[in-house]
Amino acid sequence: MLAFRKWFLALALVTLTVAAASAQPAFQCVANAGVPPIVRAEGIAELTGDLVLNCNNGIPTASGLNVPQVNVQIFLNTNITSKVDGDNKSEALLMIDEPAPADQKVCGASKDQAPGGCVVAAWPDDLATGSVYEPAFVYKPHSGLRPYNIFQGRKGGDNSIVWLGVPIDAPGTQHTRIIRITNVRANATSLGTSSTLVPNQIIAYISITGSTSVPINNPQQTVAWIQTGLSFSVRLLNGDSGAAKLLQCVDTAIDTYKSPNKTNAYCYTGRLRFEEGFASAWKTRFAVSGPGPPTASDYQNYPGQIFNQSESGFWTDASVVSNWPQALGTPAGQASQGTRLRVVFNNVPAGTRLYVSTMVIPVTTTNKAELVNVSTIDGSGGYSTIPGTGTTKHDIGTGEPCDAWKAVTRSIDGGSDTEGLAANENPFAEVTLFGGTGYATWEVTKTDFQAIQRMEFGYMMTYAANTANNLPGVGTATINGMFAPISTTITMSSVAPVPRFADTSSAKTVFTIEACVTNLLFPFVSNQAGFDTGLVISNTSKDPWSHPLESGVCKLSYYGNTNGGAAPPAQTSAAIPAGEHLIWGLSSGGTFGVAATQGFQGYIIAQCKFRFAHGFAFISDYGNTKTAHGYLALVMDTPMNRADVSSSENLGM
């Protein structure tokens, strides 16, 4: 009987133990990434979505005891590029229980801390008031005390961040513990864009190890989708796609070339068009104040809040949280600058001056960007606008020619004051050229994250025609459009700006300066079988319509035979002044150094280095006794101010 009682008591104890265990499920967390953002394929330091753990169950730490510490580590399938300081302390943060700004207290990541974290004690029962311990409030203020609830990470490897010694308490069955990881930036360029219909992904993996077991369901999460963020094109002044064509012998925006610090009546030469690859690809540095110094309204310090229009992540100021971590000399989470759009001009011919608009054309209230003064070729540096030196026109919406428009003198305040500017007026500033290369960078100051946007900036080429000295140079200039700053730093850095980008652009023709020529065809000439031909080319650039006087040589090319043999080689005359004539005969030669080509019969093409050339040929027998015939040379192109407009004349007989 006694033995039975002993077995009965043992069985009851086991039953109670099993019942207690079954009544207290094990501590576990479920990972999710909420709504992963779309990030730019060109971006090296793209802000990924937050990784969130929702944790339940387990046995809370007893009142008054220290909460067990664990190590939390994440890995990405690409390099992590969040800001770090010189000691590899990261701007990436881990938060517990979504602390409101007034509740936030940061545990730093100093290597001197042992074991790398900060101690948090479970709150004791408040016997004075009769309240009982609530495990959900371990990380919230209690009896005037503020526990640590934000933890700063450290670089764990090129693709990893670790939070050492994080006190994580099981919430029990009545509460949910939320662990949020934020301010993780990633290199999207190494993954690129997908060749399929499904975008490439940035994937995060999370692990928790330590003195307490924290199982994680779904430890692998997609934290960002990758798409191309920018397209760039060169447009003509009227908005059509294409590069401008200019003529060497025609003054272009000459007043601006001589004196850029004035308002003028010239149009821009063309437009530089940037287009978003997806909504929210362009962001301001701060959500409210844009590019300027941040204010309290710019603090992005509410866990889980999404700031699609800001390049900055989760951040606040030391005035709010006294030990808020710093990186790159700014608060953790704060971007170095807003989205910047950059162009690089190459092969700009000598003898020219180049200008760009200091703001978007036309001026709008929805999308704004300012030309910024950055001394580095990569487009990095603080926000400082470049003043406009004058205003010009940007479109031809009225149908009037550009040189007929009259702009009014304006006072331009740093390129940002649009007051008094008409809808088709815009400030401009000069682009400094070094060996034919120049840079211009605009920073986005206002944007609509709910629309796919376009921004256009005007560019203006100016020069004084000086063909005698072959100025401006003849050639084709190219341009590359891209995000900025440009960087090759693809790992965490204590000096590289965020965001930053790889240069994935390709060169496009932006404009061409062509030599001024007139091509003339003399379809038949002869110095055979008793015939001879006299020819004349007139330089008619001296006229009543105030065209600039042009002087140039004529290259004569012969096609046919010389008494059955080869045609004579091409020859080039001396320069023919405006209003003068090149006169020669096949048998005798003539003026400006043209030699005779006796015995030639065939046709001649004359390429004259000036516009408005006209020719005449006269064929007759020797002595002009029996046969004579004259005709006008065919102008093979129409000599106009625009080299891209051409047609041929009818040959008069």
Dihedral Cα 207, 208, 210, 215, nearest 10 deg: -110
pLDDT band at 5; cut points 50, 70, 90: very low
**Range among 3-17, 259-273, 436-450 with highest mean pLDDT value:** 436-450
Q: Which residue has the higher pLDDT, 515 or 72?
A: 72
pLDDT at 35: 85
Q: Is the pLDDT of residue 154 over 80?
A: yes
pLDDT at 162: 96
pLDDT at 640: 44
Q: Is the pLDDT of residue 92 over 90?
A: yes
CA dist., res. 410 & res. 389, Å (int):
10
DSSP, residue by residue, 558-613: EEEEETTEEPPPPEEPPPB-TT-EEEEETTTEESTTPPP-TTEEEEEEEEESSSSE
Do the Cβ atoms of 518 and 639 come closer than 8 Å? yes
pLDDT at 49: 96
Going by C-alpha positions, the residue among 69, 66, 59 that lies closest to residue 28 is 59
Q: Which residue has the higher pLDDT, 521 or 375?
A: 521
For residue 600 the two structure tokens come to 């030639």
- Mean pLDDT for 40-60 is 96
CA dist., res. 140 & res. 122, Å (int):
11
- From residue 250, alpha-carbon distances to 208, 253, 354, 462, 466 in Å are 72, 10, 16, 10, 9
Beta bridge partners of 364: none
Place of tokens 């290259």: 555
Q: Is the pLDDT of residue 159 over 90?
A: yes
Place of tokens 């006087």: 549
- From residue 117, alpha-carbon distances to 71, 149, 578 in Å are 9, 11, 86
Q: What Rg value do the Cα atoms of the chain yield, rounded?
A: 38
Among 42-46, 284-288, 333-337, 526-530, the minimum mean pLDDT is found in 284-288
Q: Which residue has the higher pLDDT, 87 or 129?
A: 87
CA dist., res. 307 & res. 299, Å (int):
11
- From residue 167, alpha-carbon distances to 100, 116, 132, 588 in Å are 19, 11, 21, 105
Would you give the DSSP letter of residue 339? Answer: -
Alpha carbon 510 to its chain's center: 17
Q: Which residue has the higher pLDDT, 449 or 494?
A: 494
Q: Is the pLDDT of residue 367 over 70?
A: yes
CA dist., res. 611 & res. 642, Å (int):
11
Alpha carbon 110 to its chain's center: 37
For residue 8 the two structure tokens come to 């009965």
Place of tokens 């300012």: 370
For residue 263 the two structure tokens come to 């308002």
Residue 153 corresponds to which amino acid?
G
User: Mean pLDDT score of the chain, rounded to an integer?
Assistant: 84
Would you give the DSSP letter of residue 17? Answer: H
Q: Is the pLDDT of residue 652 over 80?
A: no
Per residue in 348-363, pLDDT (tens digit) is 999 999 999 898 887 6
pLDDT band at 47; cut points 50, 70, 90: very high
What DSSP element (H or E) covers 207?
A: strand 200-210
Beta bridge partners of 160: 75, 157
CA dist., res. 422 & res. 130, Å (int):
72
CA dist., res. 20 & res. 15, Å (int):
9
Dihedral Cα 511, 250, 576, 618, nearest 10 deg: 80
Per residue in 447-481, pLDDT (tens digit) is 888 889 999 998 999 999 887 788 999 999 999 99
Q: What is the CATH number of domain 518-635?
A: 2.60.290
Do the Cβ atoms of 309 and 471 come closer than 8 Å? no
Residue 543 corresponds to which amino acid?
D
DSSP, residue by residue, 314-337: SB--TTTSTT--EETTEETT--SS
CA dist., res. 450 & res. 487, Å (int):
28
- Mean pLDDT for 413-417 is 35
Count of beta carbons in the 10 Å neighbourhood of residue 653: 7
Per residue in 241-275, pLDDT (tens digit) is 999 999 888 888 887 888 776 666 567 889 999 99
pLDDT at 388: 77
E strands, 219-375, are 220-227, 230-236, 244-247, 270-276, 326-327, 330-331, 340-346, 353-357, 368-371
For residue 137 the two structure tokens come to 């409030």
Q: Is the pLDDT of residue 67 over 70?
A: yes
- Mean pLDDT for 536-551 is 83
Do the Cβ atoms of 93 and 151 come closer than 8 Å? yes
Percent of the chain scoring above 70 in pLDDT:
83
Per residue in 622-641, pLDDT (tens digit) is 766 778 889 999 998 754 44
- 3-class SS shares of the chain: helix, strand, coil, % to 5: 5, 40, 55
Starting from the edge strand earliest in sequence, which strands make up the sheet with 531-539, in order?
Answer: 589-590, 581-585, 531-539, 613-621, 628-632
pLDDT at 421: 45
pLDDT band at 399; cut points 50, 70, 90: very low
Going by C-alpha positions, the residue among 242, 237, 240 that lies closest to residue 510 is 242
Q: Which residue has the higher pLDDT, 491 or 288?
A: 491
* SS3 of residue 151 by DSSP: strand
